[in-house]
Amino acid sequence: MKEKSRVKIAAGILWGFYPPPLKLRRTRKRKFMTKILKIVQEKDPILRKKAEPVKNPGSPEVKELVANMIATMMEIKGVGLAAPQVGVSYRIFTTNIENKILVFINPEIKDFSNEVISFEEGCLSVQKVWGPVIRPKKLIIKALNENGKPVKIRARGLLARVVQHEMDHLNGTLFIDKAEKLFTIEENKGKEIKI
């Protein structure tokens, strides 16, 4: 999928946009083209590290990283993506649930519900394995959004699930550490969600 999109972009540059008209060239100086990032896999030690807080949430570098994470998450049809999964040890994650994209920078979970629920999880960084994980049903999370502004979100359902999976990524934990049991793709074809 990654290859295909690169080819498409290259073809666009060759036939559609090259040489870029002046107006486009000017925009490019201020903005940037999003990139599809490589997803690091299970054995990579970055997935086991506690990620660092972001010191400059509004900076162009962070905005570019967030834009690339969103592009990557959408390209690979993930419902969530944490910065360590693209090789950056920062406390950032993005979610994409029912076509709503949210960005969480320096997130902190403020409250969990007592009620828990078991749900099957998979991970973009752990290939071909899924398993049920028990987690609180609801939570309240505080974070900075893509503009560096503080937000407070009450999450339930799939969002609460994804937020907790991504928070774990920021703390060096994978769902395979918490799953009640693990099974392979063949047993669970088509049902899995990738976070």
Residue with tokens 């949430």: 57
Q: Segment near Ni ion (CB under 5 A), from 17-25, 45-53, 58-66, 123-131?
A: 123-131
Q: Is 123 in the site for Ni ion (CB under 5 A)?
A: yes
User: Do residues 39 and 76 make contact, with C-beta atoms less than 8 angstroms apart?
Assistant: yes
Number of residues in contact with Ni ion under rule CB under 5 A: 2
Q: Nearest approach, Cβ of 153 to Ni ion (angstroms)?
A: 19
C-alpha to C-alpha distance for 178 and 173, rounded to whole angstroms: 9
Per DSSP bridges, beta strands 150-155 and 139-144 are antiparallel
User: Do residues 83 and 107 make contact, with C-beta atoms less than 8 angstroms apart?
Assistant: no
Which of 51, 123 has the CB closer to Ni ion? 123
Q: Is 159 in the site for Ni ion (CB under 5 A)?
A: no
Q: Is 143 in the site for Ni ion (CB under 5 A)?
A: no
Q: Segment near Ni ion (CB under 5 A), from 24-32, 60-68, 153-161, 187-195?
A: 187-195
Q: Is 193 in the site for Ni ion (CB under 5 A)?
A: no
Q: Is 195 in the site for Ni ion (CB under 5 A)?
A: yes
Q: Nearest approach, Cβ of 123 to Ni ion (angstroms)?
A: 3
Q: Is 83 in the site for Ni ion (CB under 5 A)?
A: no
Closest residue by Cα to residue 165 from 153, 154, 178 = 178
User: Do residues 133 and 85 make contact, with C-beta atoms less than 8 angstroms apart?
Assistant: no
Respond yes or no: is residue 166 known to be catalytic.
yes
Q: Is 73 in the site for Ni ion (CB under 5 A)?
A: no
Which residue pairs from 1-4 have beta carbons closer than 8 angstroms and sit at least 24 positions apart in sequence? 1/75, 1/76, 2/36, 2/38, 2/75
User: Do residues 133 and 175 make contact, with C-beta atoms less than 8 angstroms apart?
Assistant: yes
Which of 132, 148 has the CB closer to Ni ion? 132
Q: Is 79 in the site for Ni ion (CB under 5 A)?
A: no
Of these residues, 166, 186, 187, 192, which one is catalytic?
Answer: 166
Cite the active site residues. 166
Residues that bind Ni ion (CB under 5 A): 123, 195
